[in-house]
């Protein structure tokens, strides 16, 4: 019964969201196309008419990108808020009635103050209430997380008007979320909670990856260590999977933002603590590519290395900060020939990811990376396989058939620890898993 209009300046993106075949919508996420198909045209609409939607809306969610700055003060760490400011100025220009404006993008603490300053100085007498409502959806399980959230967090002012705005948004979520899962805080606590949540999750990944290197040196098995410590109720088992490192649009960006905020307040020890999470993650990617080179007799020049997966995690076509990009870049520097199979990522996206690094000319990247539509063609004639994404289908292949098509000895570098090591070794593969 609530009308939702999604607007974007990118006309092609809106065309794609309105595609009659919902399998072609821009984001792959299990369950998403079914929801779009069921609601689109009824109370869900996609449009480029931004000003019309602003004028008609009672509640406006700002959900634009907040990338890490690539220029000026805070370059490489601070969040770039230019898109947030553009949204606020457009809302201020168009709005003729009172509005509730909701921060949905991940933002540095006290951004709401800047948005409110812009909105309150329009001179047209419109009253705005600013709420912070960060999302805690994980790609690959976003629909499930949305329908059955751990919590909904809403931050707002403690004024009567602020409380009324908070209650209005609570009433939206209460349509499908129990109210005991809806937390209300002040705006600053809500903004900082999102950064903190992502920092803590990333920290766990870097922690287990640090232990994976120690396990390799000592003969311990990182999977067994993770299982043992995960059974401690104070620790729990989630995010203790050793891997090539975390990717995605959030973790690195949000931790760098946290580091920048801490430094701006002179909290250098706090900044150093969180920056180490990023340092460990970068080290894990380099360690994995170095392991491939060293194992293949210290040279991969003109050798075919097959990547299984390019997306940063399974059940998504998102490749932002994917470990595969950086491992591929390292191996191409060593003159390897990379072949890739990913069930959801296009060759154009892979080439765009590599070209964005500006390590070498685009023509050289294009010659060094080949994509395939199935795993068996991708692996034929390879010297080694590197598992970079934990797609479920990778565990179901006919590995005997794959082994027979490869150069011998045939190596598997399981960067996601999803394959059966004993089974692969019984076939004849030389297996190298993270931390084992």
- Catalytic annotation present for 194: yes
Residue 108 scores a pLDDT above 80: no
Residue 338 scores a pLDDT above 90: yes
Helix, strand, or coil (residue 276): helix
pLDDT mean over 331-349? 98
- Catalytic annotation present for 135: yes
Judging by beta carbons within 10 Å of its beta carbon (0-12, 13-18, 19+), is residue 180 exposed, middle or buried? Answer: exposed
- What are residue 132's DSSP bridge partners? 103, 155
Q: What are phi and psi of 222, to 5 degrees?
A: -65, -30
pLDDT recorded at residue 291: 98
CA nearest to 436, candidates 223, 251, 144, 250: 223
Rounded Cα gap, residues 345 and 290, in angstroms: 25
Given 194, 241, 314, 337, the catalytic residue: 194
What is the DSSP code (8-state) at residue 396?
G
Residue 124 scores a pLDDT above 80: no
Given 135, 191, 275, 321, the catalytic residue: 135
pLDDT recorded at residue 109: 73
Up-side HSE of residue 276: CA atoms within 13 Å toward CB?
10
The long-range contacts involving 136-140, CB below 8 angstroms and separated by at least 24 positions, are 136/194, 136/197, 139/29, 139/248, 139/312, 139/313, 139/315, 139/316, 139/318, 140/29, 140/30, 140/313, 140/314, 140/315, 140/316
Among the ranges given (78-82, 232-236, 354-358, 420-424), the one the predictor scored with the smallest mean pLDDT? 78-82
Given 87, 250, 303, 379, the catalytic residue: 250
**Digit-coded pLDDT (tens) for 144-164:** 999 999 999 999 999 999 999
What is the chain's mean pLDDT, rounded?
95
Rounded Cα gap, residues 155 and 165, in angstroms: 10
pLDDT mean over 116-125? 79
pTM for the full model?
0.91
- Catalytic annotation present for 250: yes
**Digit-coded pLDDT (tens) for 204-226:** 999 999 999 999 999 999 999 99
What is the DSSP code (8-state) at residue 242?
-
pLDDT recorded at residue 356: 96
Higher pLDDT, 106 or 187: 187
Residue 110 scores a pLDDT above 80: no
Report residue 106's pLDDT band, with 50, 70 and 90 as the boundaries: confident
pLDDT recorded at residue 123: 60
Strand order in the sheet with 182-185: 59-62, 99-103, 128-132, 152-155, 182-185
Helix, strand, or coil (residue 252): helix
DSSP string, 192-227: HHHHHHHHHHHHHHHHHHHHHHHHHHHT--HHHHHH
CA nearest to 323, candidates 409, 413, 238: 413
**Digit-coded pLDDT (tens) for 50-68:** 999 999 999 999 999 888 9
DSSP string, 398-413: -HHHHHHTS-SS-EEE
Report residue 297's pLDDT band, with 50, 70 and 90 as the boundaries: very high
Tokens found for residue 175:
């349509």
Helices and strands in the chain: count of H runs, count of E runs: 17, 13
Residue 114 scores a pLDDT above 90: no
């Amino acid at each position: 019964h609530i009308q939702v209009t999604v607007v974007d300046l990118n006309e092609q993106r809106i065309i794609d969201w309105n595609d009659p075949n919902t399998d072609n919508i821009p984001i792959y996420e299990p369950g998403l196309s079914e929801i779009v198909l069921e609601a689109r045209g009824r109370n869900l609409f996609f449009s480029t008419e931004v000003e019309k939607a602003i004028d008609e809306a009672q509640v406006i969610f700002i959900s634009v990108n907040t990338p890490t700055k690539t220029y000026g003060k805070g370059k490489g760490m601070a969040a770039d808020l230019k898109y947030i400011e553009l949204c606020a100025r457009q809302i201020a220009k168009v709005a003729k009635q009172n509005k509730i404006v909701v921060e949905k993008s991940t933002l540095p603490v006290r951004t709401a103050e800047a948005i409110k300053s812009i909105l309150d100085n329009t001179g047209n007498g419109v009253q705005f209430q600013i709420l912070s409502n960060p999302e805690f959806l994980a790609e690959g399980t976003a629909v499930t997380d949305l329908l059955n959230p751990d919590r909904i967090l809403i931050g707002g002012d403690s004024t009567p008007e602020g409380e009324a705005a908070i209650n209005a948004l609570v009433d939206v979520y209460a349509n499908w979320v129990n109210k005991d899962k809806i937390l209300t805080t002040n705006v600053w606590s809500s903004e900082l909670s999102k950064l903190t949540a992502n920092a803590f999750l990333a920290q766990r990944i870097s922690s287990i990856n640090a232990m994976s290197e120690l396990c390799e040196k000592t003969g311990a098995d990182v999977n067994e260590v993770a299982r043992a410590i995960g059974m401690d109720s104070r620790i729990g088992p989630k995010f203790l999977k050793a891997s090539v490192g975390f990717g995605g649009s959030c973790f690195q960006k949000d931790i760098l933002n946290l580091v920048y905020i801490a430094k701006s307040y002179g909290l250098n020890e706090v900044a150093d603590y969180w920056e180490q999470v990023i340092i460990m993650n970068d080290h894990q990617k380099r360690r994995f590519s170095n392991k491939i080179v060293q194992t293949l007799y210290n040279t991969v020049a003109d050798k075919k290395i097959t990547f299984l997966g390019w997306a940063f995690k399974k059940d998504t076509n998102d490749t932002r900060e994917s470990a595969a990009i950086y491992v591929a870049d390292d191996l191409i520097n060593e003159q390897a020939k990379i072949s890739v199979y990913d069930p959801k990522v296009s060759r154009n996206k892979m080439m765009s990811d590599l070209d964005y690094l500006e390590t070498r000319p685009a023509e050289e990247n294009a010659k060094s990376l080949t994509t395939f539509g199935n795993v068996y063609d991708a692996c034929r004639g390879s010297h080694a396989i590197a598992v970079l994404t934990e797609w479920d289908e990778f565990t179901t292949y006919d590995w005997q058939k794959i082994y027979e098509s490869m150069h011998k000895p045939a190596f598997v570098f399981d960067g996601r620890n999803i394959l059966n090591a004993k089974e692969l070794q019984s076939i004849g593969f030389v297996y190298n898993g993270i931390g084992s």
